[in-house]
Structure formats: C-alpha cells, structure tokens
Amino acid sequence: MTTDSVDGRILELLRAGGGFASGAALSRELGVSRTAVWKHVKGLRGQGYRIEAVPTKGYCLVASPDLLTPLGLGAGLATRRIGSRLVCLRETESTNAVAFRLAEEGAPEGTVVTADAQTAGKGRLGRVWISPPGVNLYLSVVLRPLISPVAACQLTFLSVVAVARAIEACTTLAPQIKWPNDILIAGKKVAGLLNEMNAETEKVNFVVLGIGVNLNMRHSQLGAGVRHPATSLLEEGGVEVDREAFARALLRELDQLYDRFLADGEGPVRAEWLERSAIRGRQVRVSSGAREFSGEVQGVDSFGALLVQVPGGGLETVLSGDVTLC
Ligand code: BTN
C-alpha cells in the first residue's frame, strides 16, 4: 500500500467507527505494524487532521482540515464512477475550465475538480459566479455518457437533484428547485449549475457538470450586482456546514443518480426533479432571448425544456433563459 492509501484507509476506519479505534485493530486491518500506524497518524496530523491518541483506547478522529483534498474526499468514498480521479486546487480561474481542459486531454469519466476559490467563476448566460475562498463549494465533474448532444441537457436534472439531496442529507433545510438549474432556500438562490459540453453532430464527447453551492458564505460576501436574491446554507440554517462532508455527500448522490440515468434513462431522475420543483403550476414571467411572455408552468419535457401555457391556451417551449415567479 502507498502512504496515501494507508492514510486514506486510516481516515476511513476512524470515520466509520465514529469513536476510538485501537492501534492493534488498525494495524490488523491495514496489515502494517502499530509503529507504522502511529507514523501515519503523525503524518495525518501534519496535514491538519486532529486525531486524539489515548493509550488505553487508541485513536479518534476529532476534526478534519477545512480544505478539500483528494485524501479527505476520497477516503471510503465508495462510488462507482464519480471521483475516479480527484483534483483539488487552492485557487483557479474556474473549476469548469480546468475540468474541460482535463477532459480534452483524456481525463477519465468521473474526474472531479474542486477549488477553494475561483478567480473567474462562471455562471449561466455569461454571468460571474461569486467564489470567495474557504467558504463554499466549487466543483466540476467530467462525464462521458454515450448520448446524443440534444439529450445532454437531461444531465441538468441529475446535478440539480443531487444538490437538493445533499442539502437534505447535511442540513435540516428544505431545498426547492427552480428551472432550469437553480436551488433555492426560502425563495433565495443557494446553488447554481453550469453544464458545458464537447460534442460532435451525433455524439457527446464529454460533459462537464459545474456545481456551485453557497455553504458558509455570509451575506456581506455576496457583493453587489447579484441578479437573484441569494443566500447560503449558513445564513439560512444558522449552522456551519462541513465542506468536506457536503462534497462527499454530493459525490455519492451524483454517482447514484448517474447510475440510474445510465440504467433507466432520464425518466426517474426527471420525475424526482418535477416532484421537487418549486415551479410547476406557478405563474411565471419568461425572458428567453428576444422573447418575453408570462404564463403558467405545465412541466418540463424530456429534454429539460420548460413548458409554459400562455394566455389563449398555446404552449410555449423554453430551452434557455430566465424565469421569474410572479
Ligand atoms: C449559475 O449561474 O447559476 C451557475 C453557476 C455555476 C457555478 C459553478 S461553481 C463550479 C463551476 N465552475 C464555474 O466556473 N462555474 C461552476
């Protein structure tokens, strides 16, 4: 086993037990001496892990560093595809841009890129995604599904539902989905998704799912000029969210939903999207390119387009744009 994999296994075993694990048990599980276990624990401490050592009880993981690392994210992740390769950066222009470059160079399906801060975080429709250091989650995933380019927008359902599920798993808050890919808490935007694709006429080469979740950002960090009322999980719930635990929960949900998507198509994931959607049956105002109109939302079609019934009975199909609840 490499140093990293022993470190990862120790973290996994300490996390799984929740309390103390004896040096003898760890050495047995890992097939290394108790002295080696102690050396690895010292190494992990050097990386910011607080591990208590009590002679009669063994070792207990008290706290992890508040920084995403391949070691911390990957230990015991046990996903099938998502997280096959983990790239964790301190600062970058945009995790989507990095993931896109890696995918062009042949990065495997499931490659995940995270950053502590983004200097040019990208939002939808050419907007900026505010990305201060140390507080939020900025994450991009490379997927290589064997689908046609028109079907790629179905992957939006997948990432939105995964974020909603991760919020439920890590907080007591109730996320709502707003078309096409916003997550709201109490009507304010807490997460956004930007999927980018490299495709030929007939086939998708790869898709990058870009996910930004405001975890512990304060209102004062949001800055002026954000279009929608925005918030963070900390502002709404009053409790700091463990960034690593949230990221791991999100990767697991993505993995499970992607598995489902590959096995059963977009139907089941879209059904969950609709169930969670804050928009069905609501009156909305749509701004899509040069088009502006109001109407009642009927649902979404299998390609993710919003179906809006306009006065007079016609049904408008909206593929991209901004939707405001009336
Ligand atoms: C939106 O406008 O709602 C989409 C925001 C998407 C932001 C995420 S943060 C991680 C990834 N990297 C980026 O540059 N953008 C996405």
pLDDT in tens, 76-112: 899 999 999 999 999 999 999 999 999 999 999 999 9
Side-chain-side CA neighbours of residue 146 (13 Å): 2
Backbone angles phi, psi at 82, to 5 degrees: -75, 120
Q: Where are the alpha helices (DSSP H) in the chain?
A: 3-17, 23-30, 34-46, 70-74, 95-104, 154-170, 233-237, 243-264, 267-276
Assess contact for 84 and 113: CB atoms under 8 A: no
What's the 314 CA to ligand 1 centre distance in angstroms? 33
| CA neighbor of 167 nearest in space, from 87, 227, 104, 249 | 249
What's the 239 CA to ligand 1 centre distance in angstroms? 24
Output 243 or 326, whichever has higher pLDDT. 243
Assess contact for 281 and 290: CB atoms under 8 A: no
pLDDT at residue 226 tops 70: no
Question: Mean pLDDT across the chain, nearest whole number?
Answer: 92
What's the 273 CA to ligand 1 centre distance in angstroms? 19
CB atoms within 10 A of CB 201: 6
pLDDT at residue 143 tops 80: yes
C-beta of 192 in contact with ligand 1 (< 6 A): yes
For 121, the 3-state DSSP assignment is coil
| CA neighbor of 178 nearest in space, from 187, 169, 165, 166 | 187
Instruction: Ligand 1 pocket test: pick from 207, 208, 211, 227 the residue with the most ligand atoms within 8 Å of its Cβ.
Output: 211
CA distance 232 to 234: 5
**Percent of the chain having pLDDT more than 70?**
97
Give tens-digit pLDDT for 253-308.
999 999 999 999 989 998 898 888 867 888 999 998 888 999 999 988 888 889 99
Instruction: Ligand 1 pocket test: pick from 88, 96, 139, 195 the residue with the most ligand atoms within 8 Å of its Cβ.
Output: 96
